[in-house]
Amino acid sequence: MSQTFNVAVEVSLREGIADPEGLTIERALPALGFSGVSGVRVGKSLRFVVEAPDEDEARQQVESMCERFLANPVIEDVEIAISGAS
């Protein structure tokens, strides 16, 4: 029988890849009164529900989705969190 899993994926730029959006935020913050913020990196977060027979199967499906479609493996890293069937 197939179960449903809640999935959270965080897609972030790999270290060393320029992040102009993050830089812009970092430069704007002091003018707004927020000092002491550094290393701002902006990524994408995706949340969805996957149907699969078990958690391993769900994770495999999500990994393959990320590789082929949701992220660019050349410049992006992916972090996958799968939480229990509901």
| Residue choice 47, 74, 84, 86 for contact with a second copy (CB under 8 A) | 47
Q: Please tell me whether residue 85 binds a second copy under the rule CB under 8 A.
A: no
Count of CB atoms situated within 10 Å of the CB of 8: 14
Pattern 2-41, binding to a second copy, x per CB under 8 A?
x-------xxx---------x--xx-xx--x-xxxxxxxx
Question: Closest CB to a second copy among 20 and 39?
Answer: 39
Element (H, E) at 26: helix 20-28
Q: Please tell me whether residue 69 binds a second copy under the rule CB under 8 A.
A: yes
Q: Please tell me whether residue 44 binds a second copy under the rule CB under 8 A.
A: yes
Q: Burial of 66 by CB count in 10 Å (0-12 exposed, 13-18 middle, 19+ buried)?
A: buried
CA dihedral 26, 32, 35, 41 (to 10 degrees): -20
Q: Please tell me whether residue 70 binds a second copy under the rule CB under 8 A.
A: yes
